[in-house]
Amino acid sequence: MSEKNFEIKINEKACKRCGICIAFCPKKVFSSENDKPVVVNPDACTKCKLCEIRCPDFAIVVGGDDDDDK
């Protein structure tokens, strides 16, 4: 799934390190680095966007900004 335009963006300024994205990603795409989420397994991402809609701080965007939000 590493086509162009596809990326998982984490806004580090907005992230409060609650760990919800890391814990509940069904494909274990994120890993914790000093409680900070980092994308370690982007190829496993199915773009379900559960991390994006569960992020309390609107800090994650999956699939590039021009991606259709569906």
Residues near other proteins (CB under 8 A): 11, 13-14, 16-20, 22-24, 50, 52-59, 61, 65-66, 69
Give the nearest distance from C-beta 55 to other proteins in angstroms. Answer: 7
Query: Nearest Cα to 11, choosing from 69, 57, 70?
Result: 57
Give the nearest distance from C-beta 25 to other proteins in angstroms. Answer: 12
Give the nearest distance from C-beta 54 to other proteins in angstroms. Answer: 6
